[in-house]
Amino acid sequence: MALDKTGIAKRIAQELQDGWYVNLGIGIPTLVANYIPEGIEVEFQSENGILGMGPFPFEGEEDPDLINAGKKTITAREGASFFDSAMSFAMIRGQHVQLTVLGAMEVSQNGDIANWKIPGKMVKGMGGAMDLVASAENIIVAMMHSNKAGESKILKACTLPLTGVGCVRKVVTELAVLEIKEGKFHLLERAPGVSVEEIIAKTEGDLVVPEFVPEMQL
Amino acid sequence: MNKVVNDPAAALDGIQDGMTLMVGGFGLCGIPENSIAQLVKMGTKNLTCISNNAGVDDFGLGLLLQAKQVKKMISSYVGENDEFERQMLSGELEVDLIPQGSLAERCRAGGAGIPAFFTPAGFGTEVAEGKEVRIFNGKPHILESALTADYAIVKAWKGDTEGNLIYKATARNFNPMMAMAGKITIAEVEELVPAGSLDPNQIHTPGIFVQRIFQGEKFEKRIEQRTVRSKQ
């Protein structure tokens, strides 16, 4: 069975390591915060100006001055700090943040990512995504393997305007965990009950498939 | 030096058609809402607005868009505004989309006397078109130029009569850099106090960057995405 969004978030959460500062993008990436493995401590950075982002507030305790980059009301954990946008992106560009998780419309086999614009149809802007992908050492993309029309989003080359070039290391979809290296996708894990054949069929880019592909442990 | 003016009308005096304004805030968080209301009242046209976002249809900078007062927006993310999207796709509104970190740094640079800087953000994308590329430490970077404005309008939590400002939580965002980059900077605060009332150790924006300050009459502080968890 293909994973749902929660499943994708749970699998990505397994990548977290103790002591990391992590930036989570809007959508599925935000859910990763709910599944931090036991026994490790991570701090979440939100690029609008907080380190130490906590959970959503209880009803009635929302503070309009305290939001995340998705403009949702949040709380601050003990030990949190606030800062301005230039300082925030100094953390990001300066590679002080160890992991960035973000969504994508398309990813290519050389690690290009597109997620900010569909010409003539949708222009929302890149927000902080271009700064994040250009600077982060460790980028994981959370996305669905195919679009609503059933076309693969895991491509030889992106067709949409790029957000960044050669930057994505790992992709987690509802079907698989893929690593990008040497210009190809490498199949690391498959979702429980999903066949290698299905993943091959739904991947347009070059895919290296080892003899044994383990199931994700969620 | 006393920077206090009585009301938004006095604060925004001198803003004319065709000027470039920086407006602080991230989404609807930390926006100078009293000043925006005053701009709508003034009806100033053909404005270029530098602001991370464009508000929503009926609040924030969305109000200036509804009134067709904006000629050009310079922003990083404009996703929550239908009127904005309509004006942009129909060509009525010029839009310059900039990576958020580059936008923040361009404002900071403008205020800090740094005419341009290299950043990796946007290399290999549309953003890099026409910009100088140089390799540093084996990695390509693009040249981005500083931004300044005729007027910068910022929102702070507390301010004193000298123009010193303290922001609250994530309402700080772009306000400090924009305060630095305005030829004239107007600060709208929730609480205006006499000089000496604020701890100098806690000041975020020193008064040198602020020319006019006033206490907003009321703040709606609309929440764009109210998200809560239940008390179990």
pLDDT digits (tens, 9 = 90+) for A50-97: 999 999 999 999 999 999 999 999 999 999 999 999 999 999 999 999
Contact B184, B211 (CB under 8 A): yes
* Residue A137 reports pLDDT greater than 90: no
DSSP string of A98-110, one letter each residue: -EEEEE-SEEETT
Determine whether A47 is an active site residue.
yes
* Residue B232 reports pLDDT greater than 80: no
- B104·A92 Cβ contact <8 A: no
Q: How confident is the model at residue A124 (pLDDT cuts 50, 70, 90)?
A: confident
Mean pLDDT within A9-20: 97
Of B28, B123, B223, the CB nearest to A165: B123
- B177·A85 Cβ contact <8 A: yes
- The alpha-carbon gap from B80 to the nearest alpha carbon of chain A, in Å, equals 8
What SS3 state is found at B70?
A: strand
Q: In DSSP terms, which residues pair with B229 in a beta bridge?
A: A58
| pLDDT value, residue A160 | 96
Contact B212, B184 (CB under 8 A): yes
Mention every residue, 6+ apart, whose C-beta is less than 8 A from residue B91: none
| pLDDT value, residue B125 | 97
Alpha-carbon span B143 to B117, nearest angstrom? 6
Closest residue, chain A, to B225 (C-alpha): A72
Q: In DSSP terms, which residues pair with B142 in a beta bridge?
A: B119, B133
**Of A15, A38, A43, A47, which one is the catalytic site residue?**
A47
pLDDT digits (tens, 9 = 90+) for B56-100: 999 999 999 999 999 999 999 998 788 888 898 889 999 999 999
- By DSSP bridging, strand B139-145 and strand A207-208 are unpaired
Provide the strand spans (E) within chain A: 21-24, 43-46, 50-53, 76-82, 99-103, 106-108, 113-114, 117-118, 122-123, 139-142, 154-155, 170-172, 176-181, 184-190, 207-208
Provide the mean pLDDT of chain B: 96
- Token readout for A212 is 């044994």
What SS3 state is found at A132?
A: helix
Contact B186, B205 (CB under 8 A): no
Q: Would you say the ipTM is above 0.90?
A: yes
- The alpha-carbon gap from B151 to the nearest alpha carbon of chain A, in Å, equals 19
Predicted TM-score of the model (pTM): 0.96
- B225·A135 Cβ contact <8 A: no
pLDDT digits (tens, 9 = 90+) for B41-64: 999 999 999 999 999 999 999 999
- Token readout for B194 is 């006499």
| pLDDT value, residue A27 | 86
Residues of A in contact with B172 (CB under 8 A): 49, 82-84
pLDDT digits (tens, 9 = 90+) for B121-130: 999 999 999 9
Mean pLDDT within A179-202: 97
Nearest to B77 by CA among A157, A100, A163: A163
pLDDT digits (tens, 9 = 90+) for B152-173: 999 999 999 999 999 999 999 9
Alpha-carbon span A16 to A125, nearest angstrom? 28
